[in-house]
Chain A
Amino acid sequence: MTYLADVGALARKDLLLELRARDTLPAMLLFVVSTLVVFHFVLPADSSDVAATGLLWVALLFTALLGLSRAFAAEREQGVIDGLVLAPSDRSAIWLGKALSVLAFLVLAELIALPAYALFFERVDAALIGGVALADLGIAAVGTLLAAMAAASRARELLLPLLFLPLAIPIVVGGVGASVAGEPARYLGLLGLYDALFAIICWASFEYVVTE
């Protein structure tokens, strides 16, 4: 219970910081909507729905990257990570609290992005929503760990995309597959497996990321 209370306190703090500073979510919203608008004009009128779905995933992935690049900004700029790391709580609680807040930002961005996609391209079905939801879990889990690694580096702006994009390939494969395949269950299963596997790896390895 103490562990969950720590996670809750850390996630609540991140949401409160965003509510006050408003420097991540508005940027993510603006980015995803403007990207979809650009894609709407770039894609020829007779393009297939499959191409539009692919572009949606590109937009979602880069929007997530934008949010992840700010995930540890407050801890980095104000050195707070040292204070959190010295707390007696399990250090994985820092990862889980941050991953939950990243997940909340992703879901909020998609609440705008998916209706915008439906407006510009095609209707959104249950398989696409399921794929996006499972992809969000994987992005939040892996992205939070990598954002913490990048935050400790001087070349953090370069490092995060270089680390994140290769690891996000299975998410894109699963997400696009679930969105366009006739039988999406196999791809949703792949995303679920990815989420479970990487959540365990990230949970177990976070301690080594935040200590020298």
Chain B
Amino acid sequence: MIHARALEKRYGDKRILRDLDLDVGQHDFLLVTGPNGSGKTTLLRLCAGLAAPTRGELELTTPRGRVGYLAHEPLVYRELTALENLDLYGRLYRVPERRERIGMLLERFGLWDARHAHAGSFSRGMLQRLALCRALLHEPDLLILDEPYSGLDEDGALLLDSELTDRTQDAAFVVATHDPQRIDRFASARLALA
């Protein structure tokens, strides 16, 4: 899925990542930790194919339509409703039985009653739930999650725990977090960035 050798990423003069080796296989769960500014988000963007390394080798074998990416931003249009956002992504990501899948995810993440509300009116926690629905919508083979518990209340966090439990057999994960204890039990590999 992801094979990286001597990976380096620079933005201008600033070196964000250096000499990084990485292998993520089909059912692996890579837990990425590190302080602010250590390059977690940059690494995740590289793994998603959203950025190219400055140096080194990076091989991504997962087709881009099979990647689920959860970023700091929810990647949804605030003027569209939750349903409209997911419908747009469902069309673009070629989700079979789109409406049923969207309905199931909205129900599961507790957003069914708010499905016709504009995403701009959502709280931080609701936006994170919607972002999770978006990232999981097309049942990706590789899930790249940047601080997935951010903004979630305890109910939301438990929902995400259960989603991770269900999905670890079907997908590979690269997850960056400041709270490694919460998901350490899922991890098959750990990477601490300095």
Contacts and interface: CB of A to CB of B under 8 A. Distances in A.
Interface of A: 2, 5-6, 9-10, 13, 16-17, 20-21, 74, 78-80, 82-89, 211-212
B79 A87 contact: no
Nearest to B135: A83
Interface centre among A13, A82, A86 (most CB of B within 10 A): A86
B91 A9 contact: yes
Given A6-B91, A78-B74, A86 B80 contact: no
Given A78-B73, A87-B64, A212 B51 contact: yes
A5 B65 CA distance: 16
B171 to A, nearest CB: 15
A85 B118 CA distance: 23
B69 A82 contact: yes
Contacts of B16: none
A84 B50 contact: no
A78 B75 contact: yes
Contacts, number: 82
A86 B88 contact: no
Contacts of A89: 92
Interface of B: 45, 48-52, 63-67, 69, 71-80, 84, 88-89, 91-94, 118, 134
Contact of B93 (A17, A20, A78, A88): A88
23 contacts: A2-B94, A5-B91, A9-B91, A16-B80, A17-B77, A21-B79, A74-B79, A78-B73, A78-B75, A79-B75, A80-B76, A82-B48, A83-B69, A83-B76, A83-B134, A85-B50, A86-B49, A86-B50, A86-B64, A87-B92, A211-B51, A212-B45, A212-B51
Contacts of B78: 74, 78
Contacts of B73: 78-80
A20 B79 contact: yes
Contacts of A9: 88, 91-92
A86 B76 contact: no
A16 B72 CA distance: 25
B89 A83 contact: yes
Nearest to A81: B75
B92 A84 contact: yes
A2 B73 CA distance: 28
Given A21-B79, A212-B52, A87 B134 contact: no
A17 B67 contact: no
Interface centre among B48, B75, B92 (most CB of A within 10 A): B92
A86 B72 CA distance: 16
Nearest to A84: B92
The 4 A-B pairs at the shortest CB distance, nearest first, are namely: A88-B65, A79-B73, A83-B75, A87-B92
A76 B50 CA distance: 15
Given A17-B77, A212-B50, A86 B69 contact: yes
A82 B69 CA distance: 9
Interface centre among B75, B89, B93 (most CB of A within 10 A): B75
Contacts of A10: 88, 92
A211 B50 CA distance: 6
A17 B75 contact: no
